[in-house]
Amino acid sequence: MCPARAPVRGRGCAREPRAAHRSARLVPYAFMAPAVVLSSLLILLPIAYTIYLSLRRVEVSGLGLGAQGRREFFTGLTNYHAAVTDPELWAGTLRIGVYGLMVVPLMLGLALLFALVLDHHRVRYRNVSRMVIFLPYAVPAVIATLLWGFLYLPEVSPLHQTLAALGLPGVDLMGQRSVFAALTNIAVWGGTGFNMLVLYTALRAVPPDLYEAARIDGASELQMALRIKIPMLTPALIMTALFSMIATLQVFSEPVTLSPLSNAISTTWSPLMKVYRDAFVRDDIHLAAATSVIIAAVTLVLSFAFLRLVQSRAFTQEER
C-alpha cells in the first residue's frame, strides 16, 4: 500500500528507505568527484608542474640543435636565486606596491562613502545611481582600459581639447609617474561599484531597530554612520580590502592593454608581466615558474589571514 503522502516519484509507491549503508556513505564522495577530478587536473597538477619546472634547468651544449643538444636537469634553487636577484622583479614589486597603496584605500574609501550614502534613509536617485556605479563591473578590464586609454590620449582626450581651447599646456597622462594615476583611475572606476554593493548589502542586514533608538536620541545621519554603521561594517571592510589586495597583486590586463598607448609601461612593469615575458618571449619557462611560485607564496601568506576570517564568519551558521 502506498502511504497517504504523495509519492516523490510519479510512478508507484515509495520504496523502503535504503539500508545500504556502504553505498550511502559513498554518496557525498560521488557528488564531490567531478569537482575534485577537474580541479586536480586543472589546478593541482599545474601547481605541482610549476614547482617541478622551477627546480630544473635546461643546458644547451654546442649549437643547441637536436635532442642531444638540450639537457634538462635538476638544479635545486638556482632558478629561485636568479629570480630573487633580478632587480626587475623588485622594481615591479615596488611599482605594484605603490599602485596598490593608491588603489585599495581610494577604491574602498569611495565604496564605503557610496554605501553609506545609499543607506541614508532619505537620499534620492538611490536605485539608478546604485546600478550605474555597479555597471563598470560588467566592463572587462581590457575594454575599460581601452576606453580610458583613449580618454588619456592627447589626440582625442576631452581634457586636452579643453586645455587647448583655454590656451593652457596639456598634461601628460601616460608619463613614468602619471601612469600610476592613470592605472589607479581605471582600477577605481572598475572596482568601486562591486565593493560598494558588498558593503551596502552588509549594511542592509543590520536590524533597523538599532537605528531607531539612536534616532530617538536625536542622532544625525552622519553620527549614526560614524558610530553605528562603520563599526558594523568592519568584517566586510576587512574582507573587501583583502580581496582588493589580492586582485592588485595580480594586475595584468590593464598595464598590458595600456602599453601600446604609453611608453611608460615596460614589458616587465608588473611581476606577472615579467613572468609572461620570461615564459613566452624569452622562452625561459624555468625562471618564469620560479617567479610565479614566489608570487603565489606571497599571495598565499597574505590570503591566509583572510581565509581564517571568512571561514570563522561563514561557517558559524552551518552548525546551527
Partner 1 sequence: MSTEPATSTEPRRDQHGHRSDHSRRSPRRGRAPLVPTAILLLGTFYCLIPLAWVVMASTKSGSELFTTFTFWPGSGLLENVGELTAHREGLYWRWMANSALYAGLGAFLSALLSCLTGFALAKYRFPGRTALFNILLAGVLVPPIMLAVPQFLLFAEVGLTNSYLSVLLPSVVSPFGIYLARVYAAASVPDSLLEAARTEGAGELRVFWKVALPIMLPGLVTVFLFQFVAIWNNFLLPYILLSDDGKFPVTVGLYTLLNQGASQPVLYTLVITGSLLSVIPLIALFLSLQRFWRIDLLSGAVKS
Nearer to partner 1, 63 or 216 (CB): 216
In the numeric block, the cell 597603496 is attached to: 101
Q: How far is the CB of 71 from partner 1 (least distance, A)?
A: 18
C-alpha angle 28-31-34 in degrees, rounded to nearest 5: 140
Query: Is residue 168 involved in binding partner 1 (CB under 8 A)?
Result: no
> Out of 19, 63, 67, 128, which residue is the one contacting partner 1 (CB under 8 A)?
128
- Under DSSP, is residue 73 helix (H, G, I), strand (E, B) or coil? strand
Do 273 and 267 form a contact (C-beta atoms < 8 A)?
Answer: yes
State the binding string over 56-95 for partner 1 (x if CB under 8 A, else -).
Answer: ----------------------------------------
Kindly determine how many residues on this chain lie close enough to bind partner 1 according to the rule CB under 8 A: 118
CA distances from 44 to 36, 39, 123, 308 (A): 10, 6, 49, 21
**In this structure, what DSSP letter does residue 62 have?**
T
Q: How far is the CB of 62 from partner 1 (least distance, A)?
A: 25
Q: Where does this chain touch partner 1 (CB under 8 A) — which range of 78-86, 95-103, 122-130, 168-176?
A: 122-130
Query: Is residue 234 involved in binding partner 1 (CB under 8 A)?
Result: no
Query: Is residue 8 involved in binding partner 1 (CB under 8 A)?
Result: yes
Determine phi and psi for 3, rounding to 5 degrees: -70, 165
Q: Where does the chain have alpha helices with state H?
A: 21-39, 45-54, 78-84, 87-118, 126-134, 141-152, 158-165, 178-204, 209-216, 221-224, 230-249, 253-258, 271-276, 285-314
User: Is residue 24 classed exposed, middle or buried when 0-12, 13-18 and 19+ CB atoms within 10 A define those classes?
Assistant: exposed
Query: Is residue 147 involved in binding partner 1 (CB under 8 A)?
Result: yes
Nearer to partner 1, 62 or 291 (CB): 291
> Out of 198, 224, 264, 265, which residue is the one contacting partner 1 (CB under 8 A)?
198
Query: Is residue 180 involved in binding partner 1 (CB under 8 A)?
Result: no
> Out of 78, 93, 178, 299, which residue is the one contacting partner 1 (CB under 8 A)?
299
Q: How far is the CB of 183 from partner 1 (least distance, A)?
A: 14
Nearer to partner 1, 79 or 192 (CB): 192
Nearer to partner 1, 23 or 61 (CB): 23
